[in-house]
Structure 1
Amino acid sequence: MVETPRITKLFENSRTVCIGRFLIDVPADAQVVYGPSEVPYPVKVYRGKANEMEGMIAERLAQIQKEKPDVYGALRGKDSMVGKVINGLAPGQKIVFGVSSASFAFYNIESYVKVDDDIVMQNAEASGSPEKYSTVVLELNSMAPLFRSRSDLQIPAETGVCIEDGFVKDAGKSSFEMVGLGIRLTSYPDVHFSLSLTNKDILVPSDALEPRIGQAEQIARSSGQGAWHERIKNLRRGRREIGRWVGYEVLARMPAQEAAGESHEFAFLSQGEPKNPYLPVLELELHSGMRENQIGGKKPSVTDDEAVAIWDRLTSSIRLRPHL
């Protein structure tokens, strides 16, 4: 595919975005949206809210009190920690014991830490066993000193993980990490690109993209959609390397259906290397024809050549962030 003048102009001015342990170059006017982060537990930065931490905790405790009558098991016992607040090991750190939304027999333990003008909140679930929740508290305490504030334009020089409005310094040991990023192009608002990076302990065969694509094709044919499936235009398909990642790529223009118009649907997946945060599972997707998050909601604003050029520009720029 040949890059068109429109796409060359789109990338004339670009900026570098830090996501996880990696960098990606995007058009300067692109809208970048970070997804949820887990390092190794879910973590969120409340920018500029440091002076509001006490009020935030008070609101959380009021909510916990409403949930308290529904708890059961060890969380109902006389030694229950539900609704209690203890000091963490970091200066000013507070740890709040709430209730898991998935099971009222489990704690949701939240750690609040002031970092400059921000609040960093990390939460984890644990059973009612003192041994279990004590282990989680130790882990939350060990993470608290590792958080740093960060603007979207800052590229840290030390090892660690970039998250939205923040940075998690390397803990010195491999653990679960998951970060994600969405990119929307201001010049072509129907074109959405997404990136996901996950450091896993084991290789999960079902993660692989090629078998899933094959299964979807079989289902389409067996469900009477064979004629529609035959009209899919494969622009590129097969093995691809992006940096050190080796994976499988499918770039296709999808024909219109009864409930949706034409669209580009591109995907790449590499399973990386288990327990290697510098070679995590990498999942990439691009969709065109998006309207209000619906695929095929409008006519694609880019041609096949332009969609592939955007994909190649973004994906080929993904690289490990240099660090000391």
Structure 2
Amino acid sequence: MTELTANLKTRCVGRYLVDIPEDALEYGYAKIGGVDIEAKAMTEDAWLQEVAQREAALKATKSRDAYPFLYATGNPRGEKTYYFIHRGTIYEAPNRRYIEGYKWDRGYRFLLKVKTYDYTRPDRSSDPIVKQFDVKNEVPAKTSLVFDLLDKLRGRAKDEVPTEPGICFAGGFLPGKATDDQYVSGGFTLTNYPDVAFDVSVDTEPQGNTSLLQRTDSPELRAMLKAADGSVIRKGTVGLPGLKAEEWLSEGRRPGGGRGDSFSLMVNETTSAPSSPYFALDMNTGGQLEIQGKLVKLDKGEAVALWDSVSRTVRIRPGSL
């Protein structure tokens, strides 16, 4: 266990920091204003090839009706950005639109996607359902949002911790003050212990009035724990500087017959807002995993020690809000 906890490195997720074992592999994405954003390490040449192949595929797709499939393409924010507006698939309705944005920056390719509609092309404004819509064509507003995100997004190495306001996600950083409708999902898998995974969620939206400890005390969850032949290792409030946090640690049977751990930490769960984003950290172990003939497994004591070393480092990134 010393090898895991001796070399923790600070990682930025959302507007938070958490210290994770140095060799952990990171994954994740962001969702801003309904736009999904992912970053992938890639050379500029590979990015150019990907965009060219995507454009060729979209241009070659023919609609099953009289209306276009591909509506727009171009460089909205310079040569290292590109976008498409299209129908999605040949089976989509003629008023459906999908906007894709691409950007290459500092060794990372960004891909942005959002689903929207245009009931003015073809015109369905007389449809009783469409009449109830305040906005008949969402494409201009969604396109503007995608272009704005393309303008601001920048590539970020996993060990880079920004000092300005903004959101971190795997491979990327979006500068800006905290607002509602900002979500980041991420996680880390351990290279030498592939049955161990950390999952992280950060959200500025309200999460409801029920806390982690209240949910885990419900009859439904107690029944699930009993069915898994499980037990609670520890539960309670956690004293993190300036944060309201609760944790719940359990152990039980896993699919396939092995046993494993499920640990959770929730921060600002009942007070989530742009000024106090919700943060959830989960650690799961697969119990028994055989790799190249060797059984890989953390025992309960090792799992708790790793959890304590990581979960107690959670804090708001200075200057992030």
Band of TM-score, shorter chain = 0.7 to 0.9
- Hey, which of these two has a bigger chunk of helix by percent? 1
2:308 aligned with 1:312: yes
- In structure 1, the residue corresponding to 2:232 is in which secondary structure? strand
C-alpha spacing 1:291/1:44, structure 2 compared with 1 (3 Å): farther
* Aligned residue identity for 1:252: S
* Aligned residue identity for 2:266: L
What is the number of equivalent residue pairs in this alignment?
297
| CA-CA distance at 1:291 after TM superposition | 5.9
CA distance in 2 between partners of 1:185 and 1:257 (Å): 19
Q: Look up the match of 1:251.
A: 249
RMSD: 3.3
Q: Look up the match of 1:37.
A: 30
* Aligned residue identity for 2:32: V
Q: Look up the match of 1:266.
A: 263
- In structure 2, the residue corresponding to 1:183 is in which secondary structure? strand
Q: Look up the match of 1:113.
A: 103
Correspondence 1:169-188 to 2 at 5 A = 169-170=175-176, 172=177, 174-188=179-193
| CA-CA distance at 1:22 after TM superposition | 1.6
2:85 aligned with 1:97: yes
Q: Look up the match of 1:4.
A: none
Q: Look up the match of 1:55.
A: 49
Contact 2:8/2:21, CA 8 A, preserved across alignment: yes
Per mean C-alpha deviation after superposition, the further-off stretch among 60-69 and 136-145 is: 60-69
Identity of aligned residues (%): 20
Q: 2:218 aligns with which of 183, 199, 214?
A: 214
C-alpha spacing 1:257/1:12, structure 2 compared with 1 (3 Å): closer
CA distance in 2 between partners of 1:318 and 1:99 (Å): 42
2:141 aligned with 1:135: yes
**TM-score, normalization by structure 1:** 0.77
| CA-CA distance at 1:242 after TM superposition | 3.8
Query: Where does the alignment leave 5 or more consecutive residues of structure 2 unmatched?
Result: 121-136
- Hey, which of these two has a bigger chunk of strand by percent? 2
Per mean C-alpha deviation after superposition, the further-off stretch among 45-54 and 175-184 is: 45-54
Contact 1:264/1:300, CA 8 A, preserved across alignment: no
- CA deviation vs aligned residue, 1:224-244 (integer Å, no higher than 9, x gap): x95x56x53211123334444
Query: Where does the alignment leave 5 or more consecutive residues of structure 1 unmatched?
Result: 1-6
Contact 2:29/2:39, CA 8 A, preserved across alignment: no
| CA-CA distance at 1:211 after TM superposition | 2.5
- CA deviation vs aligned residue, 1:25-64 (integer Å, no higher than 9, x gap): 12223x2222222234211234343334443233223333
Q: Look up the match of 1:3.
A: none
Q: Look up the match of 2:282.
A: 285
- In structure 1, the residue corresponding to 2:92 is in which secondary structure? coil
CA distance in 2 between partners of 1:208 and 1:140 (Å): 35
2:147 aligned with 1:159: no
- CA deviation vs aligned residue, 1:155-208 (integer Å, no higher than 9, x gap): 1121111122221111x46142222332233444322222211221x3435785
Per mean C-alpha deviation after superposition, the further-off stretch among 175-184 and 148-157 is: 175-184
- In structure 2, the residue corresponding to 1:189 is in which secondary structure? coil
